Structure formats: C-alpha cells, structure tokens
Amino acid sequence: MPVAKPEQKSAQYADHNREERGRGFVYARPERTTLFRRYVGGPGRRVLDLGCRDGALSVAYLDGNEVVGVDVDREALAHAEARGLTTEWADLDEPLAFEDGSFDVVVAGELLEHIRSPQQLIYESRRVLRPGGTLVGSTPNGFRLKNRLRFAAGRHPEPDPTHLHLFRPDDVREFLRSFEQPELHFVAGRFVPLNARLFANVIVFSGRKPR
C-alpha cells in the first residue's frame, strides 16, 4: 500500500482521534500517569514528548519541566500548545529534527505500534538524549489473552486500524538493548496480578542512555 504523506496522516489521525478517543482521552491513565511522572522526574528537565497528541498525559510531568510535544496531528497539537507544551509538527516516521544530546527525557507513549520502523524511532530517541538521559514509553501488550482469543475466533487481534505492529514483551526488551537499567511494567487489567503477561493491556518501558 502507498505510504501516506504527512498532511494525509495529519488528517487521518485527526479523524481517528476525534471519532475513537476524543479530546483528553488517555489510555490506562492512572498507571501511565504514575509511571511516566516517576521516570520523567524534575523539575528542570527538558522533555521530548513524541506522539503527544493533545497533551492530556503530558500535563502530568509538565510542571517545572520544559516539554516539547511532537505529533503528526495538527489539530491535536493546537490543544497541546494550549495546555502549555511547546509543539512541533512532524511525521515521526522521519528522523527527528533535533540535535544530538539535546533532551534529558524522551517520552514515547502508545507510539511504537503506529510507526513503520519502531527500531529507527528508538535509535533517534537515543540519539537526542543526553548521556544518562531516560527513555520512557508504553505500547499495547500485543499478545495478551484478549488478542489471542480474537485471533482464535478468526478476527484480527488488533482492531485499531492505525496500529501497524503487535509487540511481545521480548520485543520491547529488544528495543532497550542499547540502554542501561531497562525496566518493563505490565499494567491496565483487572487480572494482571494473576498473570501479567497474559492479562496486562499495556507494557510501560524505560531505560537510560549510557554516560
């Protein structure tokens, strides 16, 4: 299939976000808010928030920090800017337009599954991090029991048409190979305490760029 141009992506995601999520929606808000705020830290951090949408989650770590939000959805970015973010419109399938080592933290929340080359985005995130800087993000737990049952029933395991990839926990760990202190958290799901890998809807991950 032809690759959509950035302006086409902007319109597509604006329509999708309005219809499926709505302004201010944050998937797994309680768990992601707690973990992202912990890993971002601050005050005084310069944070690059990739795929920030309308900034609804970004406000959790905005106070005292400089947050630069990047997204392909122009409509969402306007709301993010109104929340206090500095915003940049960009297609995140392309290299990041920031200098090496220019951020203390890179956030990539619910983004990797939307990108044609997630490993390239991880590489770019590492490049723009300062030595000792933190990458924190999240992605759906692609092989959770719910998805396996959909597949067994002859349905697509991931109903969101904007998702290009499904990730296992081991895939996420592989993304963090070049980072120190990699951590995975399995969150969002009533039965997570019984079996996190099977029942968690979301994997939150983090790692530090070597000094």
CB 173 within 8 A of CB 17: no
The mean pLDDT values, 10 residues at a time, for the chain of 211 residues are 66 70 84 98 98 97 98 96 97 97 98 96 98 98 94 90 94 97 97 96 98 95
Place of tokens 């490049």: 127
**Token pair recorded at residue 135:** 């990458």
Q: In what order do the strands lie in the sheet with 103-109?
A: 86-89, 66-71, 46-50, 103-109, 129-140, 202-208, 180-187
Alpha-carbon distance 21 to 37, whole Å?
A: 22
- If one counts every other C-beta atom within 10 angstroms of the C-beta of residue 131, the result is 9
User: With left for phi above 0 and alpha for psi between -120 and 50, is residue 162 left, alpha or beta?
Assistant: alpha
The model carries a pTM of 0.92
